[in-house]
């Protein structure tokens, strides 16, 4: 049962990240998840210093506020300072992450936080964190319920606002002409990415969150030019990465999160090879 819970939690995280990752890849902002996962460190430390304890809700609130702040900061540097998006991302997450490290070092005597533990969760511990209704009854791992709720929110967000996300992703100028605020939907998407990153990183680790945000979406991007198909393929690759990664980790007796990231990379390599084959067949058909 423990293996099932680990694969289920990994799959829920993978699909949540993959759906949002499609829009990030198309907007050329794929590394925003990496930036947010590092930038939230000062928020976590500040939440601990203000509350005096490591309650998950308090930590997530502090991390979420800083995550959203970092997206506004990236956009500010991009629009006002005229920095390229990748440069704005690099500037933002490096100094916010460094600020968090300084806070930990300054308050080391008062704070029981380790930046590695904070940033790199361990998915193997998910079956141990149970949601207890009473001393004798539990509902299974807490993370599974949290990630299921998050996935439901992400699916609802993409389903009900697909038109706005589609238009603002491919043609922001046309969206503005139609009366759709490209800026508003950009921040709503970034808010969804921040929420997903913050909620998921505690359970599965920052590296796996970043991998699942980028790699399944990039793999799907290579195989189709249809956004609906891309969303389905990205979700499929995410689940394959989670399930295949677990069995790979068991086989090699290694890190589960690392193995899931490796399988995601293998899926990308397979998608790349298949896309090359598709292009060659299309070229031959045109010549014939």
Are the beta carbons of 6 and 203 closer than 8 angstroms? no
- What value does the mean pLDDT take over residues 52-75? 75
Determine the pLDDT at residue 278. 80
pLDDT value at position 112? 53
State whether residue 137 is helix, strand or coil. Answer: strand
Q: Beta-carbon neighbour count of residue 97 at 10 Å? A: 20
Query: Tokens 């046309």 label which residue?
Result: 174
Of 26-30, 81-85, 175-179, 245-249, which range is least confident? 81-85
What is the signed CA dihedral for 59, 64, 67, 68, rounded to 10 degrees?
-160
Pick the CATH number of 2-279 from 3.40.190.10, 1.10.3470.10, 3.30.1360.120, 2.30.30.60: 1.10.3470.10
Does the pLDDT value for residue 54 go beyond 70?
no
> Is 272's pLDDT higher than 70?
yes
pLDDT at 116 (0 to 100): 52
Give the model's confidence band at 75: pLDDT under 50 very low, under 70 low, under 90 confident, else very high. confident
* pTM for this predicted structure: 0.87
Read off the pLDDT of residues 146-165 as tens digits, 9 standing for 90 and up.
Answer: 889 999 999 999 999 999 99
Lowest mean pLDDT: which of 9-13, 70-74, 166-170, 205-209? 205-209
CA gap 14, 17 in Å, rounded:
5
Region 71-90: what's the mean pLDDT? 81
**What distance in Å separates the CA atoms of residue 288 and residue 74, rounded to the nearest whole number?**
49
Report pLDDT digits (tens) over 162-205. 999 999 999 888 888 888 888 889 888 988 888 888 788 767 77
What pLDDT, on a 0 to 100 scale, did the predictor assign at position 83? Answer: 79
Q: Specify the residue for token string 């207890």.
A: 132
Model pLDDT for residues 229-242, shown as the tens digit of each residue = 999 999 999 999 99
* Confidence band, pLDDT 50/70/90 cuts, at residue 280: confident
pLDDT value, residue 208 = 84
Contacts of 84 (CB under 8 A, 6+ apart): 78
**92-146 pLDDT tens trace:** 888 888 887 787 777 755 555 554 555 555 677 777 777 767 777 777 788 888 8
Q: Given this model, what pLDDT does residue 244 score?
A: 95
């Amino acid at each position: 049962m423990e293996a099932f819970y680990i694969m289920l939690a990994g799959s829920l995280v993978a699909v949540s990240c993959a759906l949002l990752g499609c829009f990030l890849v198309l907007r050329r902002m794929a590394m925003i998840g990496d930036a947010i996962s590092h930038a939230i460190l000062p928020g976590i430390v500040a939440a601990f210093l203000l509350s005096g304890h490591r309650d998950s809700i308090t930590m997530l609130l502090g991390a979420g506020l800083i995550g959203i702040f970092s997206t506004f900061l990236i956009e500010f540097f991009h629009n006002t300072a005229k920095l390229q998006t990748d440069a704005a991302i690099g500037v933002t997450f490096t100094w916010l992450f460094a600020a968090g490290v300084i806070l930990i070092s300054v308050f080391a005597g008062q704070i029981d936080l380790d930046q590695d533990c904070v940033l790199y969760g361990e998915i193997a511990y998910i079956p141990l964190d149970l949601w207890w209704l009473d001393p004798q009854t539990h509902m299974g791992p807490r993370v599974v319920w949290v990630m299921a709720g998050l996935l439901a929110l992400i699916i609802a967000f993409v389903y009900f606002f697909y038109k706005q996300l589609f238009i603002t992703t491919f043609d922001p100028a046309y969206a503005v002409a139609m009366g759709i605020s490209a800026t508003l939907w950009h921040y709503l998407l970034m808010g969804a990415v921040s929420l997903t990153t913050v909620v998921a990183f505690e359970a599965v680790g920052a590296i796996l969150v970043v991998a699942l945000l980028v790699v399944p979406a990039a793999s799907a991007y290579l195989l189709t030019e249809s956004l609906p198909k891309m969303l389905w393929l990205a979700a499929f690759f995410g689940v394959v990465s989670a399930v295949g990664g677990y069995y790979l980790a068991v086989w090699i007796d290694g890190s589960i999160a690392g193995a899931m990231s490796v399988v995601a990379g293998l899926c990308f390599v397979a998608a790349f090879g298949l896309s090359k084959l598709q292009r060659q067949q299309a070229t031959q058909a045109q010549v014939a």
